[in-house]
Amino acid sequence: MRVLAIETSCDETAAAVVDDGRQVRSSVVSSQVDLHARFGGVVPEVAGRAHLELLTPVVEEALARAGTTGAELDLVAATTGPGLIGSLLVGVSAAKAYSLAWGKPFVGVNHMEGHLHAAFLEDPDLALPAVVLLVSGGHTMLIEMTRDGRYRLLGQTVDDAAGEAFDKVARFLGLGYPGGPAIDRVARGGDPAAIAFPRGLLHDGYDFSFSGLKTSVVNYVRKRPDVELADVAASFQEAVVDVLVRKARRAAADVGARGICIGGGVAANSVLRQRVVEVCGVDGLAAFVPSRAMCTDNAAMVAATAWYRFRRDGATPLDAPADPNARLELE
């Protein structure tokens, strides 16, 4: 089953062709980072307009690189939420139009479920049950993926998402946008033990809190303007990764998971990736760490999810709306 998927929930215009939910024939991602960088963050109106200009060429490129045509597709999918409404509408409307024009079923996909499926794309034999740490710019969730492929929410952030914390701290430190990769880079030259930043909710269940950490970084730097930026970045990153990994590890032990999986943009973080592999080695668990390109927003993960959803629930009606606040279907 050949799926064309479109992803336009935020600031990446992406299209991909994936066969049978596993075989990626093409995955094209056109980043708008340069457009938004001068504003220090994503400007929704600018993003929507850019998607409108970029989408058709990106879809054409995805089809061409896959060596296929609309007629050879079996499904057309798009991310319907969560995300920016103006951006989502561009992708959803286009996918529905292609679906009508080519006479192929349409499948709407939840963006976070897409991130969950990214690991499966590269690791079809992913051992279940697994604990998944889903960490992006908008979400931070700890999920148990059960043996039958269902999701159970173990915990989530009570305030800022992990990626949001990276972006806000980077902005405060003047490291620019997007913040996660900038902190990751600068932190390489710093000492992660230099400053003992707080670990929010460390011993309290599976929920996360990052807003206190962000405030603590701001207060620390205001009091000591001469501090090494690299030490601040490394210590901040260490505080985030420490909490994420400790909770995922505890959850894996509690639910009897066979592995720990990471997904979402923050899963591209080099220290988080390294730490997950380390602790899994110690605990005798499998570590599922998708490639960086599969962690950040892309359409291949949307295609894989659409394939899975179509087999389970069938097509999505063409009058189904884009939903900026869509929630992940959890147990």
What binding mask, one character per residue, do residues 119-138 give for ligand KG4 by CB under 6 A, x or -? -----------------xxx
Q: Using the rule CB under 6 A, is 264 a contact of ligand KG4?
A: yes
Stretch of 58-66, 87-95, 174-182, 244-252 contacting ligand KG4, by CB under 6 A: 174-182
Residue nearer to ligand KG4 on the CB measure, 181 or 259: 181
> How many Cβ atoms are within 10 Å of 246's Cβ, its own excluded?
15
Residue 184 partner contact from Zn ion, ligand KG4, none using kind-dependent CB cut-offs of 5 to 8 Å? ligand KG4
**DSSP character for 328?**
-
Residue where the block lists tokens 């991130």: 115
Please give the structure tokens belonging to residue 291. Answer: 């490639």
CB of 320 to ligand KG4, least distance (A): 21
The alpha carbon torsion through 65, 69, 72, 76 (nearest 10 deg) reads 80
Per CB under 6 A, the list member of 91, 114, 155, 265 interacting with ligand KG4 is: 265
**DSSP character for 314?**
-
Per CB under 5 A, the list member of 27, 136, 140, 298 interacting with Zn ion is: 136
Burial letters 185-209, b for 16+ CB under 10 A, else e = ebbeebebebbebebbbeeeebbbb
Q: Using the rule CB under 5 A, is 13 a contact of Zn ion?
A: no
Spatial CA neighbour of 75 closest among 300, 299, 304, 307: 307
Per CB under 5 A, the list member of 297, 305, 308, 326 interacting with Zn ion is: 297
Spatial CA neighbour of 252 closest among 144, 113, 139: 144
**Total residues binding ligand KG4 (CB under 6 A):** 19
CB of 21 to Zn ion, least distance (A): 19
The answer to whether 6 and 89 are in contact (CB under 8 A) is no
**Total residues binding Zn ion (CB under 5 A):** 2
**Strand, helix or coil at 84?**
coil
CB of 256 to ligand KG4, least distance (A): 28
Stretch of 12-20, 246-254, 290-298, 313-321 contacting Zn ion, by CB under 5 A: 290-298
Per CB under 6 A, the list member of 268, 285, 302, 322 interacting with ligand KG4 is: 268
**DSSP character for 107?**
E
CB of 271 to ligand KG4, least distance (A): 8
Please give the structure tokens belonging to residue 276. Answer: 């997950």
CA atoms within 13 A on the CB side of 78: 29
The span from the CA of 226 to the CA of 211, in Å, is 23
Per CB under 6 A, the list member of 13, 209, 216, 296 interacting with ligand KG4 is: 296
Q: Which residues bind ligand KG4 (CB under 6 A)?
A: 10, 136-138, 163, 166-167, 178-181, 184, 264-266, 268-269, 296-297
Q: Which residues bind Zn ion (CB under 5 A)?
A: 136, 297
